[in-house]
Structure 1
Amino acid sequence: MVNELHLLTEEPQSPTMDIVAIHGLNGHYSETFTDKSWYGHGTLWLKDLLPKKIPGCRVMSFEYDASINSMSVANVRDAARSLLELLRDKREDTIYSDVPIVIVAHSLGGIVIKQALVLAEDDYPNMANCTKGIVFFGTPHRGADAAQWALMAEKIGHAVLRTSRSAFVKILEKNSEGLYKISEDFRPMAANYAIVSFYEEYAFNILGKVIVDKDSAIMGLPHEQKMMLSGTHTSMVRFSSSDKQFDAVWKRIKRAAAGVPRRGQDQFDISHGPVAPSS
């Protein structure tokens, strides 16, 4: 599999923002974000719904080999650098070079973008400066049980867990040194970005519990917006045209393009009430 940044929408004449989606473990650049329909074509909300709500947005989705049984030796750092290089190629010397960037990240994708922004601070300053917000969907900032990842992947992709697991599985485990380092490196710069964290409501059917619990899915930042979505770890990032929850998602993506709210602006945590503005 070749790492690729797929353009999902037509390029607008007057761009307002770049929205970049990143799938998670055993995910796919389009299927992860597609609501399956019994009647034929599913809804890829990144392409089918988002441009109607946010005029002028250009939407891309990053494809990388995050298969649980991949023989690739690539790790999170490799994926992060590939993303930065591909995104720079899409933006450099174009009308998009300075438009805001908002990242939409599911699960492992959130770890990839945190690593990418750590790298961007020194090596890709334009990318770091233009990135205004990150919308996390079920990202395990503090990890989750390895057995849960394996069972979920087996259920979704009919994968059989081999003894030699991919580097991506290992970094998602609780008490992973790699995960801890990425989190520690990213935390000082997190105040530069609007942060939205969605966490899952429903247990994964074969486990009887959620894949990423609320405590792991939330970073605990003063300016972070937190909200529960009615879905499992996989369904929480899929929306049909009639899904009322999509309103909450697209509005937060649009707001994130403005960056961190200025002091004095209202911030609201839907699960805990008002949150003090960040300093």
Structure 2
Amino acid sequence: MGNELHLLTEEPQRPTMDIVAVHGLNGHYMDTFTDKSWFAPATMWLKDLLPEKIPGCRVMSFEYDASVNSMSVANVRDSARSLLEHLKDKREDTIYADVPIVIVAHSLGGIVIKQVFFGTPHRGADAAQWALMAEKIGHAVFHTGQSAFLRTLERNSEDLYKISEDFRPISANYAIVSFYEEYAYNILGKVIVDKDSAIMGLPHEQKMMLSGTHTSMCRFSKSDKQFDAVWKRIKRAATGVSRP
């Protein structure tokens, strides 16, 4: 698996914004944001629903190796640099020079890049919770210590503290929406990322609970009413910082 920024929509003639999705731990650039129902076709809301609500948007999803048992030595900052370089290449065309960028990040993805957050563990979470969730989702054997990302996500991680402290002085320049999960993950009996960790506590930060678990909170079907709240906040984020 290499790092790649996938274009999910056709290039608009008159672009209004770039929307970039970043998956989380053990995630996938498509599956993380895809609702798979037993009684309806799968819905990948980034490409199937967003273009209808935000005309002129160009939607991309970043692929990087965030597997818990990966042998990659890349860390959060390496992945962030890779994403920025790929995005720079995508925006070389002059028609994108002044187009705003909105980042939609789930979980670990919000540590890699911070603007719009879905259950991002700003203060970390217990390593056991991440391990159990990754094993359940990825059907992979969990090997302690192999993933640099997993070590970063642990509560009280020094890397996580440094990243958060680096971001705080410049956070006022960005519109920020933090979504947190409502329901416990069934194999744990509690949420993966609690509200205290999912919210940064910034003055201009918008906060909203989404009805779902840590994995289902970023998947929407065509009939999901929560999608309205999400796409509207993505659209607002593109206009800049909203002060209280």
Q: Aligned ranges for residues 176-195 of structure 1 at < 5 Å? A: 176-195=157-176
Note if 1:238 corresponds to 2:219: yes
Contact 2:34–2:42, Cα closer than 8 Å, also in 1: yes
- Structure 2 runs not aligned, ≥5 long: none
Note if 1:83 corresponds to 2:96: no
Instruction: Give the Å deviation of 1:41.
Output: 3.5
Deviations 1:236-279 (A, max 9, x none): 000000000000000000000001026xxxxxxxxxxxxxx3xx
> Which residue pairs with 1:59 in the alignment?
59
SS at match of 1:194: coil
Q: Aligned ranges for residues 1-279 of structure 1 at < 5 Å? A: 1-39=1-39, 41-114=41-114, 134-261=115-242, 277=244
CA distance in 1 between counterparts of 2:242 and 2:165 reads 23
CA distance in 2 between counterparts of 1:37 and 1:163 reads 33
CA distance in 2 between counterparts of 1:237 and 1:94 reads 32
CA distance in 2 between counterparts of 1:99 and 1:19 reads 10
Farther-moved stretch of structure 1 (37-46 vs 239-248):
37-46
SS at match of 1:89: helix
Instruction: Give the Å deviation of 1:37.
Output: 1.9
CA distance in 1 between counterparts of 2:97 and 2:62 reads 18
Percent identical: 86
* Equivalent position amino acid for 1:222 in 2: P
SS at match of 1:147: helix
Q: TM-score, normalised by structure 2?
A: 0.98
* Equivalent position amino acid for 1:4 in 2: E
Q: TM-score, normalised by structure 1?
A: 0.86
- Structure 1 runs not aligned, ≥5 long: 115-133, 263-276
Instruction: Give the Å deviation of 1:40.
Output: 6.2
CA distance in 1 between counterparts of 2:6 and 2:94 reads 17
**Alpha-carbon RMSD:** 1.0
Deviations 1:123-181 (A, max 9, x none): xxxxxxxxxxx210000000000000000000001111113320000000001000000
CA distance in 1 between counterparts of 2:105 and 2:124 reads 15
SS at match of 2:208: strand
CA distance in 1 between counterparts of 2:51 and 2:144 reads 43
CA distance in 1 between counterparts of 2:5 and 2:110 reads 16
CA distance in 2 between counterparts of 1:177 and 1:21 reads 26
CA distance in 2 between counterparts of 1:258 and 1:164 reads 41
Contact 2:177–2:233, Cα closer than 8 Å, also in 1: yes
SS at match of 2:62: strand
Farther-moved stretch of structure 1 (92-101 vs 138-147):
92-101
CA distance in 2 between counterparts of 1:97 and 1:78 reads 25
SS at match of 1:37: coil
Deviations 1:188-237 (A, max 9, x none): 10000011000000000000000000000000011110000000000000
* Equivalent position amino acid for 2:224 in 1: D
Structure 1 segments, 4+ long, off by >4 Å, are: none
Contact 2:145–2:151, Cα closer than 8 Å, also in 1: no
Farther-moved stretch of structure 1 (170-179 vs 89-98):
89-98
Equivalent residue pairs, number? 244
SS at match of 2:197: helix
